[in-house]
């Protein structure tokens, strides 16, 4: 897709024009590096499945190198993982990573003292999980630190390299792995639309999710900028899912000569898993944490999987990992170049 001709109602692509009667634009978001070119070059994120595979290759390769590294300082840097961003993604990744290192990789690399490995979570503000109540935030911080995650609050990352991460106060963390979860912005397609974008490159939409001046064009998901009850709807999957359902119903109503009431997001709650038997959840005015919240998190994730077979397979895998701390896939499927990204 190269653009949209709203006047002629044509989608412009590299293979020709595609006419439309109604158009739904939901291109999502991309990682926001806030102009930090070095971070964009040397960090990892998890926008696609291929990103997860690349990150896994990098981490396992780091441990392979650490086994034969004679310099203790460089060896520890190879086993140091810096995560930037204290939102749900950063918190969940930090908890999962420290458990992977201590319970799984410790068995694969007995030559290494994996308890010397570092998982560092860097957050620019003074709190984790800012959207959650204070009790949940305090529990999350204490739980991560009890799991040996180094949590740095009020710390802003300003530069990165292949072997180090630099903070705003001049502190340098020797590390070979940087994971970025500090923000997202609307997909570049948003800038090509006939609209003035808001914060994060998002496109303001009408209460019925249509593009101003184009009642036949719907903008949904992370690209859409819509205020509700005095605050902007977040760039999260539940918002996008409800917007998608609304847009589909609006088009059916439009074809039937009916109109729908304005879109309204129904917040079903927020939750994040921290690690084994630990999670936080806030829903319907109630706050849960610890083992019960962890069970709720597991059940809801199983519920939203597509297909009964997928639910059973995932549940059995989770049970196996819970009892044996055993991850099934620990394969290096690409070799890594000396200066950064994986290559075939």
pLDDT per residue as tens digits for the range 249-296:
999 999 999 989 999 999 988 899 999 899 999 887 788 999 999 998
Q: Are residues 64 and 90 in the same domain?
A: yes
The torsion angles phi and psi of 278, rounded to 5 degrees, stand at -140, 130
- Whole-angstrom distance, CA of residue 134 vs CA of residue 111: 41
Q: Are residues 173 and 242 in the same domain?
A: no
| pLDDT per residue as tens digits for the range 224-243 | 999 999 999 999 999 999 99
Q: Are residues 178 and 192 in the same domain?
A: no
Show the DSSP H helices in the chain as ranges. 37-42, 49-68, 72-78, 88-99, 106-108, 134-146, 237-255, 291-304, 308-324
Length of the chain: 344
In a domain, 262, yes or no: no
Q: Are residues 234 and 249 in the same domain?
A: yes
- Which CATH number fits the domain that encloses residue 108? 3.50.50.100
Q: What is the pLDDT of residue 339?
A: 52
Q: What is the pLDDT of residue 217?
A: 96
pLDDT confidence tier of residue 131, bands split at 50, 70 and 90: confident
Q: Are residues 91 and 231 in the same domain?
A: no
Q: What is the pLDDT of residue 272?
A: 93
| pLDDT per residue as tens digits for the range 15-40 | 999 999 999 999 999 999 999 999 99
| pLDDT per residue as tens digits for the range 92-109 | 999 999 999 998 898 889
How are beta strands 278-283 and 270-275 bridged, if at all?
Answer: antiparallel
Q: Are residues 166 and 83 in the same domain?
A: yes
Q: What is the pLDDT of residue 337?
A: 62
Checking if the pLDDT of 340 tops 70, the result is no
Q: Are residues 62 and 160 in the same domain?
A: yes
Tokens of 282: 């806030």
Q: What is the pLDDT of residue 46?
A: 84
Q: Are residues 193 and 246 in the same domain?
A: yes
Pick from 339, 126, 129: nearest CA to 234: 129
Asked if residues 287 and 281 have their Cβ atoms less than 8 Å apart, the reply is: yes
In a domain, 307, yes or no: yes
Q: Are residues 211 and 286 in the same domain?
A: no
In a domain, 206, yes or no: yes
- Marked catalytic residue, from 92, 99, 123, 336: 92
- Whole-angstrom distance, CA of residue 81 vs CA of residue 331: 19
Q: Of 255, 281, 302, which residue sits at a domain end?
A: 255
In a domain, 174, yes or no: yes
- Whole-angstrom distance, CA of residue 102 vs CA of residue 115: 7
Show Cβ contacts of residue 340 under 8 Å, excluding neighbours closer than 6 positions. 41, 42, 162
Arithmetic mean of pLDDT over the chain: 91
In a domain, 343, yes or no: no
Q: Are residues 275 and 164 in the same domain?
A: yes
Checking if the pLDDT of 327 tops 70, the result is no
Q: Are residues 55 and 152 in the same domain?
A: yes
Give the HSE-up count for residue 154: Cα atoms under 13 Å, Cβ half-sphere. Answer: 2
Domain count within the chain: 2
In a domain, 193, yes or no: yes
Give the residue, 237 or 329, on which the prediction is more confident: 237
Give the residue, 337 or 304, on which the prediction is more confident: 304
- Which CATH number fits the domain that encloses residue 221? 3.50.50.60
In a domain, 122, yes or no: yes
Task: Give percent above pLDDT 90 in the chain.
Answer: 76
Give the 3-state secondary structure of residue 242: helix
Q: How many CB atoms lie within 10 A of CB 58?
A: 20
Establish whether 111 is a catalytic residue: no
Q: What is the pLDDT of residue 149?
A: 97
| pLDDT per residue as tens digits for the range 214-223 | 999 999 999 9
Q: Are residues 178 and 284 in the same domain?
A: yes
Q: Of 197, 229, 255, which residue sits at a domain end?
A: 255
Pick from 66, 47, 51, 332: nearest CA to 184: 47
In a domain, 341, yes or no: no
Q: How many helices (H) and strands (E) does the chain have?
A: 9, 25
Checking if the pLDDT of 2 tops 90, the result is no
Q: What is the pLDDT of residue 138?
A: 95
DSSP state of 222: G
Q: Which domain holds residue 226?
A: 3-31+185-255
Q: What is the pLDDT of residue 328?
A: 62
């Amino acid at each position: 897709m190269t653009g949209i001709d709203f006047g002629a109602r044509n989608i412009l692509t590299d293979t020709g024009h595609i006419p439309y009667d109604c158009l739904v634009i939901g291109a999502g978001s991309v990682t926001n590096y806030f102009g930090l070119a070095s971070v964009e070059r040397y960090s990892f994120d998890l926008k696609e499945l291929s990103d997860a595979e690349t990150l896994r290759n990098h981490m396992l390769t780091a441990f392979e190198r650490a086994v034969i590294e004679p310099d203790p300082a460089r060896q520890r840097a190879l086993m140091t993982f810096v995560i930037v961003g204290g939102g749900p993604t950063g918190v969940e990744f930090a908890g999962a990573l420290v458990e992977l290192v201590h319970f799984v990789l410790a068995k694969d690399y007995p030559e290494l003292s994996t308890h010397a490995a570092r998982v560092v979570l860097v957050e620019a503000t003074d709190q984790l999980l800012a959207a959650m109540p204070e009790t949940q935030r305090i529990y999350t911080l204490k739980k991560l630190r009890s799991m040996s995650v180094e949590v740095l609050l009020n710390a802003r990352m300003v530069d990165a390299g292949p072997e180090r991460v630099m903070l705003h106060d001049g502190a340098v963390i020797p590390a070979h792995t940087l994971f970025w979860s500090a923000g997202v912005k609307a997909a570049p397609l948003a800038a090509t639309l006939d609209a003035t974008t808001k914060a994060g490159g998002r496109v303001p939409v009408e209460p019925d999710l249509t593009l101003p001046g184009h009642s036949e064009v719907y903008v949904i998901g992370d690209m859409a900028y819509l205020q509700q009850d005095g605050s902007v709807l977040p760039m999260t999957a539940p918002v996008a899912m409800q917007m998608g359902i609304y847009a589909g119903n609006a088009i059916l109503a439009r074809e039937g000569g009916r109109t729908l009431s304005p879109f309204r997001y129904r917040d079903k709650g927020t939750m994040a898993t921290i690690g084994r038997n630990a999670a936080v959840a806030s829903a319907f005015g109630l706050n849960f944490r610890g083992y019960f919240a962890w069970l709720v998190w597991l059940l809801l994730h199983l519920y939203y999987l597509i297909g009964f077979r997928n639910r059973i397979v995932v549940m059995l895998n989770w049970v196996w990992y819970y009892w044996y701390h055993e991850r099934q896939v620990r394969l290096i499927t690409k070799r890594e170049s000396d200066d950064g990204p994986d290559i075939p």
